[in-house]
Amino acid sequence: MNIGYACITKGVANANYKTCRKINATEDHLKLLIEHNLNVLEKMIEYNHQVGIKLFRISSDIIPFGSDFVVNDLDWPNLFAPLFKRIGEKIKRYDIRVSMHPGQYTVLNSPIIGVVERAIDDLNYHKLFLDSLGVGSESKIIVHVGGVYNDKEAAIDRFTQVYDQLDRKIKDRLIIENDDRSYTINDVLDISERTGAPVVYDNLHNALNNDGETYPDSYWINLAKKTWRKEDGRPKVHYAQQQLIGREGSHSQFIGIDEFMTFYRDVAPCDVDIMLEVKDKNLSAVKCLLATTTDPKISDLEKEWARYKYTVLERSPVIYERIRSLLKDKSSYPVIPFYRLIEAALTLDINMSTAINSLEHVWGYVNQEVTDKEKEKYQEYKSNLIEGLNHLERVKRFLYKLALKYEVDYLINSLYFEL
């Protein structure tokens, strides 16, 4: 079983994709953006390997206007073939399974022909990208069935008809997912019988949109597993938690460890890969990996604490001290209590005194290196902060630039600037 995350890597320096508007999508500009984004992907793959993450969804936005062959008519697979080859070889060498998930506008069952044609163009783009990496058919493209259009049976018929006409190489990668409004897991399993497309089960979607059954997640996962062939690789599931204050179906800021462990104990015998859909991305993936590892090491929690400590201090000096005390016993592995305390801190608001206290701790890592002008700038930012917390992000950005300038890795790797 692997546990992974989607698209964006948090807390890694210079790991942000770039895009542009159509008006600026010149050939030269697109080449620069594509090269940048592929280099970012390589950095993400390296990061995933370092922390032991072997399941990763690549952003559909990595090639700007990748499915719009009018705006972007570059032969990017060949232009960047050496870079694709290098990244693909790393993916295979590190045994990382990648996937892609086209967005909500990729609708195969639309009654509008133009929408369907654009959806197929989008699938061709995703297939081409994965093919360019040289990854096998276990690297999947996930889609939802689409809309109901006031007649679900007719909409399902359209989906199956379009699916049947797809290129074989697209079908080899395509898997279908239940959604939170239109198509239940029962619907998707039925569509799988008609098309042969493997099913990926989403727990949060099923909680919000089902046919009234109260079966555990493992029941549906075992049914979905039967739709997968050996060449499809290990069956995948999507796991998410509901954001407490947010619209129904919105993903949580982080994965709550207790809720996840309940899910994990239920589905572990199913032997599936778990893709987390959560706003803090890789941070929750590392959490869940450390909570389920068969090789527990207190040093792994200490590494995590080094990243989180000033984010925690910024919110609660009390929790900060409790975590320090928790990690004193080097023969223990208190992973669940550790993350419970981290989560408790993340739910707290920042106040003026805790913000300044944490800020001063961080400043201490660079204050011997900075110029007199930078010292003056910091004092100015801190004075502004005293007038209102709305200035906090500005002073953090300043400190992060100093960390990069003076190559203070401890700060660069800290989540203080991310959370």
Bridge partners (DSSP) of residue 237 are 201, 274
Residue 88 pLDDT class (50, 70, 90 cuts): very high
Residue boundaries of the structural domains of the chain: 3-292, 298-417
99: three-class secondary structure by DSSP: strand
**272-299 burial: b if 16+ Cβ within 10 Å, else e:** bbbbbbbbbbbbbbbbbbbbbeeeeebe
In the chain, count H helices and then E strands: 18, 8
Pick the CATH number of 3-292 from 3.10.20.30, 3.20.20.150, 3.90.1150.10, 3.90.245.10: 3.20.20.150
**pLDDT attached to residue 399:** 96
Cβ distance 251 to 6 under 8 Å?
A: no
Using 50, 70 and 90 to split pLDDT, how confident is the model at 385? Answer: confident
| Residue 258 CB coordination number (10 Å) | 11
pLDDT at 386: 80
Q: Using pLDDT thresholds of 50, 70 and 90, give the confidence band for residue 317.
A: very high
CA distance linking residue 70 with residue 272, whole number of Å: 40
* pLDDT, position 185: 98
Model pLDDT, residue 116: 97
Write the pLDDT tens digit of every residue in 284-301.
999 999 999 999 999 999
Q: Given this model, what pLDDT does residue 268 score?
A: 97
pLDDT for the residue numbered 180 = 96
| Lowest mean pLDDT, pick from 29-33, 47-51, 163-167, 384-388 | 384-388
Is the per-residue pLDDT at 237 higher than 90?
yes
Q: Is the Cβ–Cβ distance between 54 and 109 less than 8 Å?
A: no
Q: Which residue has the higher pLDDT, 365 or 384?
A: 365
Spatial separation of the C-alpha atoms in residues 11 and 286, rounded to whole Å: 12
Contact criterion met (CB below 8 Å) for 108 and 156: no
Residue 266 near residue 219 (C-beta atoms within 8 A): no
pLDDT at residue 131, as a whole number: 98
Residue 390 has what pLDDT?
A: 86
pLDDT at 230: 96
Q: Which residues pair with 175 in a beta bridge?
A: 142
Q: What is the pLDDT of residue 259?
A: 98
Query: 244: pLDDT confidence band, cut at 50, 70 and 90?
Result: confident
Q: Are residues 155 and 108 in contact, defined by beta-carbon separation less than 8 angstroms?
A: no
Q: Which of 46-60, 151-165, 177-191, 235-249 has the lowest mean pLDDT?
A: 235-249
Q: What is the pLDDT, as a whole number, of residue 42?
A: 98
Give yes or no for a contact between 21 and 49, defined as CB atoms under 8 angstroms apart. no
In sequence order, the β-bridge partners of residue 131 are none
Burial 386-402 (b: 16+ CB within 10 A, else e): eeeeebbeebbeebbeb
pLDDT at 318: 97
Contacts of 103 (CB under 8 A, 6+ apart): 60
Task: Please report which helix (H) or strand (E) contains residue 208, including its range.
Answer: helix 203-208
Give the pLDDT mean for 316-328. Answer: 97
Cβ neighbours for 76, distance < 8 A, ≥ 6 positions apart: 34, 63, 66
Whether residue 413 is predicted with pLDDT greater than 90 in this model: the reply is yes
Convert the pLDDT of each residue in 365-374 to its tens digit.
Answer: 999 999 999 9
Residue 400 pLDDT > 90: yes
**Which tokens hold the place of 66?**
């990748």
Dihedral sign from CA coordinates of 324, 325, 329, 334: negative
| Cα(8)–Cα(270) distance, integer angstroms | 27
- Give DSSP secondary structure letters for 261-328: HHHHHHHGGG--EEEE--TTTHHHHHHHHHHH-SS--HHHHHHHHHHHHHHHHHH-HHHHHHHHHHTT
Residue 388 pLDDT: 82
| Residue range 231-245: mean pLDDT, rounded | 95
Q: Say which DSSP state 150 is in.
A: T
Percent of residues, the chain, with pLDDT higher than 90: 95
Is a pLDDT exceeding 90 seen at residue 195?
Answer: yes
Cβ(107)–Cβ(149) below 8 Å: no
Q: Return d(Cα 65, Cα 117) in angstroms, integer.
A: 16
Looking at residue 160, its amino acid is: T
Is a pLDDT exceeding 90 seen at residue 267?
Answer: yes
405: left (phi over 0), alpha (psi -120 to 50) or beta: alpha
- Summary mean pLDDT of the chain: 96
- 245: confidence class by pLDDT, cuts 50, 70, 90: confident
Whole-model pTM: value is 0.95
Please give the average per-residue pLDDT across 168-188, as a whole number: 97
